[in-house]
Chains A and B, each alone.
Chain A
Amino acid sequence: QDCTFFTRKEILRLHGRYHEMAPNVVPMDYTKDPDVKLPMQLIINMPELKENPFKERIVESFSEDGEGSLSFNDFVDMFSVLSEMAPRELKAIYAFKIYDFNTDNFICKSDLEQTLNKLTREELTAEEITLVCEKVIEEADMDGDGKLGFADFENMISKAPDFLSTFHIRI
């Protein structure tokens, strides 16, 4: 409860959801702190995440081992950051991680291309994609290195009017 934004009741409810995804593996009793991780395939089939184009990236960003398997702590962490009680700065940090596909701590052109393809389900032509990526870098890149560092990203996202309302999952 101290590490997340959830109340006791909500954490218990989350535990119920975690358990019902794999009832044979997840114990009901967590007092002995068991080392149980659920694979990515199970998590991304949750109804809250199923339609999201970035579901794999979301789960990977919150998994400790980087492979996409979530322990219960990671699970609660994920929904806590995505809930409406999390502050903007925290959400910006994790949003940066999610959109950074090659995990090099920079959102470079190829990351942007992948984001765009997932958003439009590859309906845009190659030159349209190039145009959009160039425009994004032109707009947001402040230090001129041709890719977005965390400072650039944060500067841009803090002024966005819809960020808080769209980067939100209710469970």
Chain B
Amino acid sequence: HFGSSVASYFIFLRWMYGINMILFGLTFGLVMVPEALMGKPYGSLPRKTVPRAEEATAMNFATLWDFSGFAQYSVLFYGYYNNQRTIGWLKFRMPLSYFLVGVGTIGYSFMIVIRTMARNANEDGGGDDTSFNFSWKMFTSWDYLIGNPETADNKFASITTSFKEAIVEEQESRKEENIHLTRFLRVLANFLALCTLAGSGYLIFFVVRRSQKFALEGLENYGWWERNEVNMVMSLLGMFCPTLFDVISSLENYHPRIALRWQLGRIFALFLGNLYTFIIALMDEINLKASVLFLFTIFNRHMCKDEDFQQLEEEKIVKYNMTIWEASLYNGTIPENSTAPPIQVDPADVPRGPCWETMVGQEFVRLTVSDTMTTYITILIGDFLRAVFVRFFNYCWCWDLEYGFPSYSEFDISGNVLGLIFNQGMIWMGSFYAPCLPAINVFRLHTSMYLQCWAVMCCNVPQERVFKASRSNNFYMAMLLFILFLSTLPAVYTIVSIPPSFDCGPFSGKTRMFEVISETLEHDFPSWFGKVFGYASNPGLILPFILLMVLSIYYLNATSKSYKEANLELKKKLQSVRSR
């Protein structure tokens, strides 16, 4: 009923679901289950227990919905995991497993995205025989085996849509263009789009500076708008600029498939540009590490918390406090080399160090949940209520609601595709800190598929010009690859440069997270393995290897180009032979 372009979105969604199932399997089976089964139980260590102060509210629904309380101190988040090298009778190496699963999910995602891109490219190059396109559609599309009236209805609809798609392709290829006018209009449209992007960037810059001014003067003096100005402005820009881009694109008069790509590209640039200006506006005042943390909270609807930045100073303060507190247990004497047996204390009472990884994980989980809620509510209100309104109020309204404003909504392909891609980017960024994220995402995609399917069939009308989306799939893949690359940068940066929290997580006590690898090599592998590894990671060996890979990429590219040309030549020969 809706054509292959809408279908391509759902096929993409289903493919994403498959990937998330694998990610879920990895994190659940190799990280969450071993810790739950073989690790120390809840309540045995300070990091695994809800602090005394929070105990009263720990079971409330509001706290659990916010992923604090009992949800925070469980296998769902980074902070629960113990830094013991091996756990249980299986001698399962938990920190190593956590690290490898984190790296493995990213590696697997890269591999599968590139493999799908390569497979799509192959199928396209196979060649579509279009010599009798319309004739075959006319004489061989009806399936004579159909006996069920519903199937027949669907078949009629699909044949009609297929004809309409082919007609659009034919009309586009026949269009006579006034080249100069079209070019001028397209340049004008791009200029307007650039102006919009620049304008939104400047607006964000201005608003962020203003909010910092407000923060300095004390937030109590200002009302709700001033406190949430930054988030509101970013949300409003995200809502209205895409519509503006849609209007601008009507100037360009492109084939609908190409117009969709321009639209996707512009919205993408809008989001990235907003992000970039936001960070730049903050960069001057706050140190770099803190702005990395800010990157994580960038899409957060709540007001950004200034406490995150004081993390490192806070850690020093807490460590000092803990030594004082321990001393108080020994009745006043601060032991230098303590030989007295440790006094038993309930883990809930021990003062805790800050755990930025869990906080980051929580932010991502909250973001995903709020994003899901927003999508569902938008569907229910924007599509369903609108359709109900148009259908039932049409009888008592002055103008025809179904043909004029507002009419039924069309399925917004670009918005939904981008939403899906950005959501996946969030999952990739956050799954290292919150192993529960892939599980939440699997659930979200599952419900989203059925909800959107129902919404499309019930409340939407097909687009006026349906187009064939055969090559759009690789375009979505390319965007996904780009986002995957961007999402892995923060996680990689934290693994390599930032020391893990001293009081929580599987890497506590180490200076850098990747040291778990060197530790494993020392303890679990024979000594010659470590030596070989040391030689292999020598820059003198790695640089020539990289050079070799670059040269082989160039060579393969050149040969594939020559194969494509040979392919085209053969096709032309076939056509001339056939038409004789």
B544 on interface, CB distance cutoff 8 Å: no
Binding stretch for chain B, among A3-11, A13-21, A51-59, A61-69:
A51-59
Residue of B nearest to A107 (CB): B139
How many angstroms between the C-alpha atoms of A123 and B167 in the bound complex? Answer: 13
Shortest distance between the CB of A129 and any CB in chain B (Å): 9
B140 on interface, CB distance cutoff 8 Å: yes
Shortest distance between the CB of B211 and any CB in chain A (Å): 54
Q: In the complex, which residues of chain A have a beta carbon less than 8 angstroms from the beta carbon of B142? A: 52-54, 119, 166
Assess whether A167 is in contact with B138, with CB atoms less than 8 Å apart: no
Shortest distance between the CB of A142 and any CB in chain B (Å): 9
Shortest distance between the CB of B114 and any CB in chain A (Å): 31
Q: In the complex, which residues of chain A have a beta carbon less than 8 angstroms from the beta carbon of B146? A: 51-52
Assess whether B140 is in contact with A163, with CB atoms less than 8 Å apart: yes
Interface size on A, residues (CB 8 A): 36
Binding stretch for chain A, among B152-160, B330-338, B359-367:
B152-160
B325 on interface, CB distance cutoff 8 Å: no
- Given A120-B159, A128-B163, A132-B163, also A160-B132 (CB < 8 A): yes
B145 on interface, CB distance cutoff 8 Å: yes
A116 on interface, CB distance cutoff 8 Å: yes
Q: Determine chain B's interface SS by DSSP, over half rule.
A: helix
B141 on interface, CB distance cutoff 8 Å: yes
Q: Which of A99, A128, A168, A170 interacts with B167 by CB under 8 Å?
A: A128
Shortest distance between the CB of B162 and any CB in chain A (Å): 10
A25 on interface, CB distance cutoff 8 Å: no
B127 on interface, CB distance cutoff 8 Å: no
How many angstroms between the C-alpha atoms of A156 and B143 in the bound complex? Answer: 18
B538 on interface, CB distance cutoff 8 Å: no
A131 on interface, CB distance cutoff 8 Å: yes
A169 on interface, CB distance cutoff 8 Å: yes
A140 on interface, CB distance cutoff 8 Å: yes
Residue of B nearest to A82 (CB): B144
Q: Which of A48, A139, A157 interacts with B140 by CB under 8 Å?
A: A157
Interface residues of A (CB under 8 A from B): 47-48, 50-54, 82, 95, 99, 112, 115-116, 119-121, 123-124, 128, 131-132, 135-136, 139-140, 156-157, 159-160, 162-163, 166-170
* Contacts A/B (CB < 8 Å), 15 sampled: A51-B149, A119-B141, A119-B159, A120-B156, A120-B160, A121-B160, A123-B160, A132-B166, A135-B133, A136-B134, A139-B133, A139-B134, A156-B135, A160-B139, A168-B144
Interface residues of B (CB under 8 A from A): 131-136, 138-149, 151-152, 156, 159-160, 163-164, 166-167, 170-171
